[in-house]
Amino acid sequence: MKEQVEEVLGQIRPMLQRDGGDVELVEVAEDGTVKVRLTGACGGCPMATMTLKRGIEAKLKEEIPEVKEVVSV
């Protein structure tokens, strides 16, 4: 599943990079929890939670049904 997550993050990454940010995969747990780290402008952005939940998590769940939750670490 890690490879699938990396592939989807690769689709999302250009949008984040346009705004000066990025996302890096930290861990994919067996329970379906994906841990990511928002970096650059995304790291301190007030909209980071919305980006994480409505953007990254929504896209990962849509593409990979085994993903249950995405958390920022």
CA distance 42 to 26: 16
The DSSP string of 15-57 is HHHHTTEEEEEEEE-TTSEEEEEEEEGGGS-TTHHHIIIIIII
Going by C-alpha positions, the residue among 19, 22, 20, 18 that lies closest to residue 56 is 22
pLDDT (0 to 100) of residue 44? 83
Any residues with CB less than 8 A from the CB of 69 and at least 6 apart, and which? 32, 33, 34, 57
pLDDT confidence bin for 54, thresholds 50/70/90: very high
Which residue bears the tokens 């929504």?
Answer: 58
pLDDT (0 to 100) of residue 45? 85
pLDDT (0 to 100) of residue 35? 97
Tell me the pLDDT tens digit for each residue of 2-53: 999 999 999 999 999 998 999 999 999 999 999 999 999 988 888 899 999 9
pTM: 0.91
Domains and CATH numbers, the chain: 2-72 (3.30.300.130)
